[in-house]
Structure 1
C-alpha cells in the first residue's frame, strides 16, 4: 500500500510538471513576436481545433494587414469597416490545408476540450512565397496555352494567377522580368491580357440547324483569325444565362427555342473556371470558397448577329498539297506590344506538308452508309441502321447516342482513309447534351471492317495532334501514324463512354499503374521512381485489378466523362517494332470532378489488333526535364 501511494504521488507530480512545461512553452510562444497563435475550445477536440485555427488565421491577418494597401484590400468597397474583414477573408484561403508546420498543443480533451495552435512567421512567409511562385507558374502556363490557341486555358491560368496574387501581402506589387529586360506588374498585366484576349475573340454563325423543338446555332470561333482550340461560354436565353457551353477546334454551339436569321445573340465568356479550380487542389479551392471579393474584368460579352457565313471547309490532311501549318496549330499573330511582354520563345512559321494516305477505290458505298447514319441520328431511329454495324460496332454506337442527348451540329465533310483492310471515315460533328445542360462537341470517326460494316467508333483527336501525326516532316510510315491515331482515339473514347471491357483488355495483367497526387507545400511523397521523383507529388501504385475496381466505382458515380488531349510527345522504338512511349496533357471533365494532368503510357502495338499498355502514369504536374524518349528508354526494359 505504501508503494502504491508513492507511485500515485509520482504520477501526480509528473502531470503537474508536464502541465507547467506546457504552460511555460505556451507563455513563451505568446510573448515571442516571431510566432502567431490561436486558442479554441468546444465540446469536442474537432470543434476546439477548428476554433483555434480560425483564431490563428485571424492573428495572421492582423499581422499582415499593413502589407495590404488600403486601396488594394478594399477592392472598390467604400466602407472602411470592411477592411479587416477583407484581409481576414484572404488569410482564410490558407487555413488548414496550405499552412505548413502548424503546431498543436491539446490543453484538455473534454469539459470543455481546449487546443492551442501556433506557427512561426518564417513558415507564414514561406507559404506566401510558395503561393507567389505558383501564381507565376500559372502565368507561364497561360503564355504557352495562348501560343496553341488554347484560349480557355490561357484565360483560366491568367485569372488563377490573379486570384493567388490577390491573397498574398503586396501581391499587387509583384513584378516579372521579360526577355528584353523590362519589368511589369504581373497582376495588372494578367488583367489586361485577359481583357485583350476577349476583345480579340470573334464569333460568327457558320450554320443553323432546325429541329422540331429548338434551333442549334453553330459558331466559327477564332482568336486573331486562328480557330480556338478550347473555350467555355454562356449565352443569354431571355431571362437568364445558359449553362457553360464548350468550343473545340474552332466550333461552338448554342440552342434556342425560337431563333431566326437577323437576331442578335449575347454571349458571356467564362474566365473564372471555378468548377475546375475547386477540384484541382486545396489551395485553389480555399481561394474560391472564401469571401474574397471578386474583381471585374470589364467587358466579357460578345454580341453575334445571326447571319450564316458560307465558309468553304478546308480538306484536312488528305490532299497531299503543300500548305502552311494547320491554322489552329500555328503561332498566334503577335502585336508589337506582345513582343515586348512575351516571356516565352516565339515559334517560327514552318511549312506544313500533310502526308498522302491511300483512299478506297470507290467511296460511294461508304458515303451512302454515312448518310443513313446521319438520318438515323437525326430521327433517333437507331435500330434501323443496326445491320450496318458489327455486334461490337453497334454496341459502341448505342453507347455513343446514349452519351448525352446526341445531335449532329453541322453538315459533315467526310474523308475516307484506307488502313489495311479497314476504311476510316472522318467524321460527323456531333453535340452531346447532359441533364445539367452541360454540352460537349466532338467529331466522331467511324471505322469499317473488310466486309464494309462499321466495327468501331471513336472521338477524333484534336486538330493540333492530328497535324503532328499527319505532318510529312514527322518521319514515321503511314501505318505507324494511323496506328497511333487509332489507339489514342480508342483510349480517350473508352473513358468517355465508360467502356470498362476495352480498358480492362488493353492493360497487361502485370501493368505498372501509378497515380500521382499533388502534395501541399512541405510534404514529401512516399514513392520514388527513376523518372518520376518530384518530392511534391505523392505516387501511388495500383495493380490492374485495383485500378479497374476504382474505375468501375468512379464510372458508376458519374453522369458523364469527357477526356481531351493536348501537347503530345511520342517516342517510337527504332528496333523491335511498334512499341511507343506517349506523354500527353490530359483534360478530364465530369459532372462531379475535373482535373488537368499529364498522362504517360508505354504501349506495345506489335499486334495492332491487341495493343497492350504496360505502364500508365498520371501526374498532376509537368516535369520540364521529362520526355517520352527517356520514358521509352527506361520502360522498354520491362518488355525484354
Structure 2
C-alpha cells in the first residue's frame, strides 16, 4: 500500500514538473512558443506548430508590409500564410516539450524557439534563395534561358517569403552585390527584352489543312538552348513548346492554318509543373505570385513564304567523310525516310530497316507524332566499328499525354547491309566531340 502511494506521489510530482516547465516556457519573454492540446500527439503537434506560426508572424509582420497587396485578407493573415510555408521544413526542427500526464486522455505539445534564434529560422531559406539565383546566373550564361527564368523566378518567390527580403544581396557576373528584391525582377525583365523570335520557315499542307511555322529563337543574337512557350492557336493557348538549340515550332490547323499573320506567344517563367522543391510548392500554394506582362510577345509575319509541304523541296546533304563511306547512298536513304515521315507513308520505307530498327521507328517516330522541322538537312556521319551513324536529324515530337511539345535531334544507325538497325536521340555536338577526343575506340567524327 505504501509503495502504491509512493508511486502516485512520484507521478503527481513528475506531472507537475512537466506542467510547470511548459507554463514557464510559455510565460518566458525570451521564447516564442506554440501550444497544442489534443487526444493524439499528431493533432497536438499540429496545433502547436500553427500557434507558433501565429506568434512568429506577430514578430515579423512589419517586414512584409511592402509585399502585402490588400485584397480579401489582412496583413496579419498574409504574414501568417508566408510563415506557414516554413512549417513543413524549418519549423519541424524547433524544440518541443510533450506532456501526456497532467491531463488524462490528452496530449499537450509545446513547440518553442528562442527569440534570439529567430534569425536562424530563416537562414536556410536565405541560402536557398542565393543558390537558386547563382544557378540562374550560370544557366543564363550558357543560354539555357528556360532554366534561368525558372530559377530566377523561384528565387524571387522564396525571397518574397523572407522577412529580410529588402536586404538580401547576391553578386552577379561583374562581382557587384545587388539587392535581390530589385535585381531578380530586373533580370527576368531583361531576358524577355533580349529574346527574339523570327520566322525562318512557313509550310502549308492543303491535304491536312495544317501549317507548320519554324521560329529561330535567340537571346542577345545567340541561339537559345532551352525555353518553353505556348502560342495562341486561334481558339485557345497551345500546350508548351520547348525550344532546342535555337529552334521552336508552332502548328496551326483548319481555317487558322490557311493564312497566318501574327503569332502570339506566352513565355513560360513560373514552371510550376516542374516543381520538385517542397518549399517552392508551399510558397506557391500559400502566397500570391508576381506576374510579368512582358512575357507575352507577338511575332510579326511580314515575309511571304511559298505555300508547300516541307517535303516538296526537301534537301539532304551529308558532309564529306574521311572514311570509306558512300555519302550519296545515305543521303538518298535519309531523304526517302524524311519524305515518308512528312507524307505519313510509313509502309513505303519499311524495307529500309531491320525488324528491330522498324520497331524502334514505330515507337519513336510514329508514337511520338514526329514532324519535320525544316526542308534542308545538313548531316554528318560517324563510323563505329562496322556501323555508320547519320546525325543530327531534328524533329518536333508530340507524345500523347505529355504536357509539352519538344524538339530533339535523332541519330540513324546503319548496319553493314546499309539497313537502319536503331534510332537514338543524339548527344550534343560538344558531348560527342569530348567522347571522341578522350577515346578513339568510339569511332571517328566526320
The correspondence for 2:404, drawn from 438, 454, 462, is: 438
Is the counterpart of residue 394 in structure 1 residue 364 in structure 2? Answer: no
The structure whose residues are more often helix, as a share, is 2
Alignment of 1:213-362 (within 5 A): 214-257=210-253, 258-260=256-258, 262-277=260-275, 279=276, 281-290=277-286, 292-307=287-302, 358=322, 361-362=325-326
Counterpart in 2 of 1:529?
none
Equivalent position to 1:92, from 84, 91, 99:
84
1:455 to 401, 421, 445: 421
Larger Rg: 2
Map 1:190-209 → 2, pairs under 5 A: 190-209=184-203
Partner secondary structure for residue 257 of structure 2:
coil
- Inter-partner Cα distance in structure 1 for 2:167 and 2:327: 63
Q: How far apart, CA to CA, are the structure 2 residues paired with 1:477 and 1:40?
A: 64
Alignment of 1:151-230 (within 5 A): 151-177=145-171, 182-211=176-205, 212=208, 214-230=210-226
Q: Distance in 1 between matches of 2:76 and 2:221?
A: 47
Question: For each residue in 1:303-339, what CA deviation from the matched residue of structure 2 results, as whole angstroms up to 9, or x when unmatched?
Answer: 00235599xxxxxxx96xxxxxxxxxxxxxxxxxxxx
Q: CA deviation at 1:197?
A: 0.8
Tell me what 2:23 maps to: 27
The residue aligned with 2:331 is 367
What's the offset of the Cα at 1:66?
A: 2.6
Contact 2:209 2:258 in 1 (8 A): no
Distance 2:378 2:172 in 1: 46
- Give the root-mean-square deviation of aligned CA atoms: 3.0
Q: TM-score, normalised by structure 1?
A: 0.61
Aligned residue number for residue 121 of structure 2: 127
Alignment-derived partner of residue 58 in structure 2: 62
Counterpart pick for 1:40 among 36, 39, 44: 36
- Over 3 Å counting, the alpha-carbon distance change for 1:167 and 1:437 in structure 2 is closer
Cα 1:101/1:202, change in 2 over 3 Å: same
* 1:194 to partner: Cα distance: 0.8
Report the CA distance between 1:14 and its aligned residue.
2.9
Partners of 1:193 and 1:129 lie apart in 2 by: 24
**Residue 174 (structure 1) shift:** 1.7
Give, in angstroms, the shift of residue 380 of structure 1. 3.7
Q: 1: CA distance between counterparts of 2:221 and 2:420?
A: 37
Whole-angstrom distance in 2 between the partners of 1:283 and 1:482 = 47
**Structure with bigger RCO (C-alpha 8 Å, 6+ apart):** 2
Q: Secondary structure at the match of 2:427?
A: coil
Deviations 1:614-634 (A, max 9, x none): xxxxxxxxxxxxxxxxxxxxx
2: CA distance, partners of 1:183 / 1:99: 30
Give the gaps of 5 or more residues in structure 2: 306-317
Judged with a 3 Å threshold, the aligned counterparts in structure 2 of structure 1 residues 81 and 457 are, in CA distance, closer, same or farther, namely closer
